[in-house]
Amino acid sequence: MSAPGWPAVLTDGAVLLRPYERRDAVAWSEVRCANRAWLAPWESTPPIPWEQANSPSAYRYVYRDQRRAARSGEGLPFAVCLLGDDGRHRLVGHVNLSNIVRRAFCSAFAGYWVDHRVAGRGVIPTALALAVDHAFGPGGLHRIEVNIRPENTPSRRVMEKLGFREEAYHPRYLHIDGGWRDHVGYALTVEDVLDEGGLLARWHRVRAAAA
Ligand SMILES: CC(C)(COP(=O)(O)OP(=O)(O)OC[C@H]1O[C@@H](n2cnc3c(N)ncnc32)[C@H](O)[C@@H]1OP(=O)(O)O)[C@@H](O)C(=O)NCCC(=O)NCCS
- Reported as a single tens digit per residue, the pLDDT across 168-192 is 999 999 999 999 999 999 999 999 9
User: Is any ligand 1 atom within 6 A of the Cβ of residue 148?
Assistant: yes
Separation between Cα atoms, residue 140 and residue 100, nearest integer Å = 10
- Reported as a single tens digit per residue, the pLDDT across 35-94 is 999 999 999 988 899 999 999 999 999 999 999 999 999 999 999 999 999 999 999 999
- Reported as a single tens digit per residue, the pLDDT across 128-137 is 999 999 999 9
User: Is any ligand 1 atom within 6 A of the Cβ of residue 158?
Assistant: yes
- Reported as a single tens digit per residue, the pLDDT across 102-130 is 999 999 999 999 999 999 999 999 999 99
Give residue 2's pLDDT: 82
User: Coil, strand or helix: which one is 7?
Assistant: coil
User: Is any ligand 1 atom within 6 A of the Cβ of residue 119?
Assistant: yes
Span from the CA of 80 to the centroid of ligand 1 (angstroms): 15
Residue 42, CA distances (Å) to 113, 129, 170 in order: 9, 21, 15
